[in-house]
Structure formats: structure tokens, C-alpha cells
Structure 1
Amino acid sequence: MPSFHNGEVEIAYLDEGEGDPIVLVHGFASTKNVNWVYPTWVSELKRNGRRVIALDNRGHGDSGKLYDAAAYDVATMAGDVIALMDHLDIESADVMGYSLGSRMTAVLARQQPQRLRSAVFGGIGIGLIEGGGPGENVAAALEAASLDDVTDPVGRTFRAFADQTRSDRLALAACLRGSRRLMTRDEAASIEVPVLIAVGTTDEIAGSADALGKVIPDAEVLHIPNRDHMRAVGDKVYKAGVLDFLSRRK
């Protein structure tokens, strides 16, 4: 698996296919494989004539592990995406995030719009601005000796997922504590790149897609029927909606 260094942090990535580039940014406690390869996003996008780039975020997968929460500021993590694009000599690309990956993508859409042809915010709605996602209960669950010691239901969900993906739980706890900064309403309202917001209708983590759609000018909203935060990732409605959105960017 190829990798490069952004400063002292090694970032693992995949780069497959030919055509217009799209960069995929996975969610908290996930990996490029779990979020994008196994649910067939990579193969589907390649079949549709796209060059697909996906990274393991710092602290995740095969990328470098850091244990200081300050190393996981959302803007810092978003900087790894731009560093990867620079490493691959990609001037501009469509970028699709999921959950935390969407928070990172939103930062890029606001701060470096010239690098994004469009942005897909998967698994995040008004939670981008209000709520802040997983809290200290999840960090504590990640640091617990075993899943049996975790009683908080949300904490158990994330701990079980981290165990399933064989993640470095202490690095994830640091990431969670460092990446909590919310985007302000004014910051979100200043996003001018084309945006698709895609959220499962039973997702209790993302917050309302429609509410965020009213904040970001001209954003499109895609409701993924009967899917929660975890199960929306590979849904066929999600894929079809994203492919339609991307086809209209040409």
C-alpha cells in the first residue's frame, strides 16, 4: 500500500482507476477499506470512469498513530487531504467524506474551494454545526479494558466497531478529543462549492440533512431511506445519488 509523509505523519492511501479524480475521506474509527473498498465504492466509481484516491486518516488504519489530541484538529486532519493531492499532483478533485471525513471536507470546501470541484457530505447533517458528534462517553469506552466494561450504548457501538476494525483505540480516543470543533453557522453558510448532503433517515448521529441544506447555499440533500449512521455507507440509494450528482459536475 503506498504512503507518503505530511511532515512527520505517514499517510497511507490507495490510488486506482483513470479519469477525473475523486478523493474519499473516511469517518471516525473507520479506514479507507472499511468505509470505501468493502462497500464497493471504489469499484463502483472506477466503473464509472473515475480515478479514485482514498486515504487512511491519521490515527487510523495503516497511517501514523498519534496520541496527543492537539494533533487531530479537524483543520489539521483536512490538511492531510490537501497534502495527498499535492503529493499526487492533483490540482482539483471532487471530495467525498463520511461523518468525520465530511467535517474535514467541509473545512476544505470553506478554506480551499479552489481545490474542490464539488463536495459530498455523507453521514453529516446539522451535526456539522450543532451537537459535535461522539463525546467523552465514547472516548472512555475506547479506553476501557474491554467491551464488557462499557455500559453506555453509544460508547459500546463505537468500541465494538473499533474492536472489529482492530484499531488503535488510544489513538482514536485522542482523535475524538481533538476533532470536536464545530463549524459555525456563518462558516457553513460561506461554502460556495457544489455540495451534496447524504444522510440516512434513521441516522441519529448526523443530525438533520435538511437543516444543514438550508444553511449551505444551493446544497442538494439526499435522504438514504431506512438507514442509520453505520448502515447508510454502502446503500444503493446513496451510491446512485452520488453518481448522479457527480455526473452533473462535468
Structure 2
Amino acid sequence: MPSFHNGRVEIAYLDEGEGEPIVLVHGFASNKEVNWVYPTWVSELKKHGRRVIAFDNRGHGQSSKLYDPDEYQISTMAGDLGALLDHLAIERADVMGYSMGARITAYVARRQPARLRSAILGGLGIGLVQGGGPGENVAAALEAPSFADVTDPVGRTFRAFAEQTRSDRAALAACLRGSRQLMSAAEVAEIRVPLLIAVGSTDDIAGSATALQQLIPGSQVLDIPRRDHMRAVGDRVYKEGVLAFLANRP
């Protein structure tokens, strides 16, 4: 698996296919395989003529593990995305992030719009502005001695997911504590790249997609029927909606 260094942090990535590039940014406690390869996003996008790049965020997968929450500021993690584009000599790309990855994508869309052809925010609606995603209850669940010690329902969900992905739970707890920065309504209103907001209809973590759309001029919403935060990722409606958006964006 190829990798590169952004400063002292090693970032693992995959780069497959040919055509216009799209970069995939996974969610908290996931990795490039779980979020994008296994749900067939990589193969589906390649089949539709795209060069697909996906990477493991710092603290996740095969990338460097860090234990200081300050190392996981959204601006810092967005810097890893920019460094990857520079490493691959890609000036502009479509970027799709899921959950925390969508938070990173939104940051780049606002601060470095020239790097993005379009942005797709999966699994994140008004939670970009209000809420900040999983809270301290999840960090505590990740640090608990065992799964049996976790009683919080959301904490149990993320603890089980972290164990399933064989993640470094201490690194994830630091990441969660460091990456919960919100954007203001005024800041998200500054996003001008073509934008799709894709959220499951039963996702109680992302927040309302429509509420976020109302803050961002020209943005579009894709509702993923009967899917919660975890099950929306590989949904056919999600894939078809993204492919249609990419085919029609400027």
C-alpha cells in the first residue's frame, strides 16, 4: 500500500483507475477499506471512468497513530488531504467525505475552493454547524477496559465498530476530542463549489440535510431512504445519486 509523509505523519492511501480524480475521505473510526473499498465505492467509481484516491486519516487504518487531541484539528486533517493532492500532483479533484470526512471536506471547500471541482458531504447535515458528531460519551466508551463496561448506547455502537475495524482506540479517542470543531452558519454560507449533501432518512447523528442545504446557496440534497448513519454508506441510492451528481456538475 503506498504512503507519503505530511511532516512526521505517514498517510497510507490507494490510487486506482483512470480519468478525472475523486478523493474519498472516510469517517471517524473507519478506514479507506471499510468506508470505500468493501461497500464497492472504489470499484463503482472506477467502472464509471474515474481515478479513485482514498486515504486513511491520521489515527486510522495504516496511517500514523497520534495521541494528542491537538493533532486532530479539522484544519490539520484537511492539511493531510491537501498534502495528498500535492503528492499526487493533482490540482483539482472532486472530493467526497463521510461523517468526519465530510467535515474535513467542507473545511477544504470553504478554505481552498480552487482545489475542488465539487464536494459531496455524506452522513453530515446540519451537524456541521450544530452538534459536532459523537461526544465525550463515545471517547469514554473507546477508553473503557472492555465492551461490557460500556452502557451508553451510542458509545457501544462506536466501541463495537472500533473493535470490528481493529482500530487503535486510544488514537480514536484523541481524534474524537480534537476534531469536533463546528462551522458557523456564516462560514458554511461561503461555500461556493458544487455541493451534494447525502444523508440517510433515519440518520440521527448527521442532523438534517435540508437544514444545511438552506444555509449553502446552490447546494443539493440526496435523501437515502430507510438508512441510518452506519447503513447508508453502501446504499445503492447513495451511489446512484452521487454518480448522477458527478455526471452533471460543471
**TM-score category (smaller protein):** over 0.9
The alignment's C-alpha RMSD in Å is: 0.5
Shift in Å, 1:236: 0.2
Q: Does 1:220 align with 2:220?
A: yes
Instruction: Identify the residue that residue 65 of structure 1 maps to in structure 2.
Output: 65
* Structure 2 partner of 1:202: 202
Residues 59-138 of structure 1: pairs in structure 2 closer than 5 A: 59-138=59-138
- Specify the SS of the correspondent of 1:215: coil
Note the C-alpha offset of 1:57: 0.1
* TM-score (structure 1 length as normaliser): 1.00
Question: For the residues of structure 1 that align with 2:60 and 2:19, how far apart are their CA atoms?
Answer: 28
Tell me which residue corresponds to 2:230.
230
Partner of 2:242: 242
Amino acid at match of 1:97: G
Alpha-carbon distance in structure 1 between the residues aligned to 2:7 and 2:216: 33
Aligned to 1:174: 174
Paired position in structure 2 for 1:17: 17
Deviations 1:90-133 (A, max 9, x none): 00000000000000000000000000000000000000000111
TM-score after normalising by structure 2: 1.00
CA distance in 2 between counterparts of 1:187 and 1:37 reads 32
2:228 maps to amino acid:
D
In 2: Cα distance, 1:78 partner to 1:216 partner: 20
Q: Separation in 1 of the partners of 2:245 and 2:193?
A: 13
Which whole-Å deviations, capped at 9, do the CAs of 1:55-97 have from their partners, x for residues lacking one?
Answer: 0000000000000000000010011001000000000000000
Hey, what's the Cα distance between the residues in 2 that align with 1:117 and 1:210? 22
- Cα distance, 1:43 vs. partner? 0.0
Describe how 1:132-171 pairs up with structure 2 within 5 A: 132-171=132-171
Q: Which runs of 4+ in 1 moved over 6 A?
A: none
**How far apart, in 1, do the equivalents of 2:216 and 2:183 lie?**
12
Shift of 1:249: 2.4
What's 2:50 paired with?
A: 50
Q: Deviations over 1:116-170 (max 9, x none)?
A: 0000000000000001110000000000011000000000000000000000000
SS of the counterpart of 1:60? Answer: coil
SS at match of 1:65: coil
Task: Note the residue ranges of structure 2 that are not aligned, 5 or more in a row.
Answer: none
Q: Tell me the percent identity.
A: 75
SS of corresponding position for 1:228: coil
- SS in structure 1 opposite 2:180? coil
Instruction: Find the aligned partners of 1:193 and 1:75 in 2 and give their Cα distance.
Output: 18
In structure 2, the residue matched to 1:35 is 35
Instruction: Report how many aligned residue pairs link the two structures.
Output: 250
Q: Offset at 1:191?
A: 0.2
Aligned letter for 1:186?
Answer: A
List per-residue Cα deviations over 1:26-48 (Å, max 9, x = no partner): 00000000000000000000000
* Equivalent-residue separation in structure 1 for 2:36 and 2:78 (angstroms): 18
Separation of aligned partners in 2, 1:132 and 1:90 = 30
CA distance in 1, matches of 2:78, 2:145: 31
In structure 2, how many angstroms separate the alpha carbons of the residues matched to 1:235 and 1:79?
29
